[in-house]
Amino acid sequence: MNLLIITQKVDKNDGVLGFMHGWITEFAKHCSSIIVICLQEEKHYLPKNVKVLSLGKEEKQSRLQYLLRFYQYIFQERDNYDHVFVHMNPVYVVLGGLFWKLLRKKIGFWYTHSSVNIKLKIAAFVTNIIFTASKQSFRLPSEKVKVVGHGIDTDAFLPQENGLQGKIILSVGRISSTKRQCETVKIFEKVSNEIPNAELHIVGYPVTNSDKIYYSELHMCVQKSRISAKIKFIGAVPHFQMPQIYHTASVLINLSKTGSLDKDVLEAMACGVLPVSTNEAFKDILPEMNVAKDAADAEKKLNGILNINEKEKIDHGKVFRTYVEENHKLKVLAKKIIKNL
């Protein structure tokens, strides 16, 4: 198979989208050649059968230039790919769909989010197949939807050998109102009343302008709290270094309400770290002790996990690790997508 992949960013060191480097590497094992068109190209170490073409965000090109380059690339490379895989952004299916249809290129579209807009509806109509991580991760009814699980590199995200240590609560993800880090701080303030030696480590950075505004609000929220000394902003961490971050944690808190399977929860589970999540997508996956209905319940669940003994944590961690290996392993995901394209 000769595959064209459309994605937002190719950057091994990126804290949010760095995982895509691993995805492309895994896909390359099953393809004769891969062409990647990305909005932004940074540092990468991809296999020899992978060619990366950037739309130019790293060069601060205009949106018009992005568009012109996109059409230039899909046209000039038309004989070098026979299948298309678009990751997350429906606008690329909208822009390139007709051209690919005319050339009889099969289109696969990956989407894992609860939001639905007109671009998504058009993309769903145009694409041949829609890949998603769970039933809740794609909210448009369509016979094209194929649930294939997520893609966690379980060879990299491993439990630490000496078991879990400390009372560190970890928050991972883009700094954004959708991730609700301010609410996390408020919950932690109450948890610290019960467990004075607990700490909150926040990993992530703002991406959009609205994220940056929220980031300022988050810092104000921390400064106003009584426990600012117990909260540490880790900032952006390259994706390949995230296993080391998970190994420092006793529990991961996830207050996202995206409705889709959040990657940070699955990565933590692969590392044997116990999560607490308010995301409805996990209510049929995680046991009751790890699923919270609201902030008050999240506080209760965090207190409970932080107080269980080390053996129980390790035993629960092994169960979660097995679940990720059986349902969300990157090696298996890549084979499923290639098979169905």
Chain centroid offset of residue 39 CA:
18
Query: Cα-atom radius of gyration of the chain, to the nearest Å?
Result: 21
Do 2-152+329-340 and 168-327 come out as alike in CATH topology?
yes
Q: Break the chain into its structural domains and give their ranges.
A: 2-152+329-340, 168-327
Q: How confident is the model at residue 82 (pLDDT cuts 50, 70, 90)?
A: very high
Q: What is the pLDDT of residue 178?
A: 87
Q: What is the pLDDT of residue 128?
A: 98
Q: In this model, does residue 73 exceed pLDDT 90?
A: yes
Question: What tens digit of pLDDT does each residue of 262-285 get?
Answer: 999 999 999 999 999 998 889 889
Q: In this model, does residue 161 exceed pLDDT 80?
A: no
CA dihedral angle for residue 237, residue 240, residue 244, residue 246, rounded to 10 degrees? 80
Is the pTM of the predicted complex or chain greater than 0.75?
yes
| Rounded Cα–Cα distance for residues 274 and 169 (Å) | 10
Percent of the chain with pLDDT over 70: 99
- Name 172's Cβ contacts closer than 8 Å, sequence gap at least 6: 203, 204, 242, 245, 252, 254, 264, 267, 268
Q: In this model, does residue 135 exceed pLDDT 90?
A: no
* CATH assignment, 2-152+329-340: 3.40.50.2000
Mean pLDDT of the chain: 94
Instruction: Give the pLDDT mean for 11-15.
Output: 94
Homologous superfamily (CATH) of 168-327 is: Glycogen Phosphorylase B; (3.40.50.2000)
| Rounded Cα–Cα distance for residues 64 and 75 (Å) | 17
Q: How confident is the model at residue 165 (pLDDT cuts 50, 70, 90)?
A: low
Instruction: Give the pLDDT mean for 124-143.
Output: 94
Question: What tens digit of pLDDT does each residue of 172-221 get?
Answer: 999 999 899 999 999 999 999 999 999 999 999 998 999 999 999 999 99
Q: In this model, does residue 166 exceed pLDDT 80?
A: no
Percent of the chain with pLDDT over 90: 85
Q: How confident is the model at residue 164 (pLDDT cuts 50, 70, 90)?
A: low
Question: What tens digit of pLDDT does each residue of 279-309 get?
Answer: 888 988 999 999 999 889 999 999 999 999 8
| Rounded Cα–Cα distance for residues 250 and 312 (Å) | 12
- Name 305's Cβ contacts closer than 8 Å, sequence gap at least 6: 250, 251, 274, 276, 289, 290, 313
Among the residue ranges 75-89, 118-132, 273-287, 319-333, the one predicted with the least confidence is 273-287
Q: What is the pLDDT of residue 311?
A: 87
